[in-house]
Amino acid sequence: MKILLNEQQIGLGIDRLAAQLKLHYHDNPITVVAIMTGSLVMLADLIRRLEMPVCISLIQASSYRGGTKSGDLVIQDRMMLDITDRDVLLIDDIFDTGKTLVQVTQRLTAMKPKSIRTAVFLNKLGQSVVTAIPDYVVFEIPNEFVVGYGLDYQDLYRNLPFVGVLEDSDLKNHSSV
Ligand code: IMP
Ligand code: MG
């Protein structure tokens, strides 16, 4: 598998994000809302670099039904904290078409937080179909299907410590998974 971002690069990227968040939020408490399951690894790495008080809340959104094609978005918010009047940072693994981040942001806005900002680990250049853009992007990547650091193909590869480009041969090998 071709490695796009190695562990060291990723670590430095998350350091940068934590520093940007400190500049904006200072010591004010924030609630990090992580879109499951893709942002799980980013969540664990980011929160350990934050010095302000942090609450963690989970929301699930699934748009890729197993493969690499986009499907309808299903949002499940049963694990959400009460975010009324809180400063919320919504994080996701990747901004592709942008539909997931936009729809989850709308869902959270309805819960009346004090503020919402968005941070994504990856931004796939040229793929967005929405006008909104994330407030923070850790890395820009070309339009390739990537896995690792939380990102999956058919729920596999999330545990890779690096980001790799899935090749056609990998896709074929897992057609039965
Ligand atoms: P969007 O709604 O099109 O922006 O898609 C965002 C979601 O699609 C992410 O949360 C990922 O779960 C998934 N996704 C998009 N591109 C990739 C990729 O290259 N690898 C793995 N998952 C992806
Ligand atoms: Mg996914």
pLDDT, one tens digit for every residue, the chain (177 residues): 999 999 999 999 999 999 999 999 999 999 999 999 999 999 999 999 999 999 999 999 987 555 556 567 999 999 999 999 999 999 999 999 999 999 999 999 999 999 999 999 999 999 999 999 999 999 999 999 999 999 999 999 999 999 999 888 877 766 554
Is residue 154 within 6 Å of ligand 1 at its C-beta? Answer: no
CB-based contact 123:113 (threshold 8 Å): no
Is residue 38 within 6 Å of ligand 1 at its C-beta? Answer: yes
For the chain, what is the radius of gyration of the CA atoms? 16
Ligand 1, residues 1, 2, 60, 63: which to mutate, most atoms within 8 A of Cβ? 63
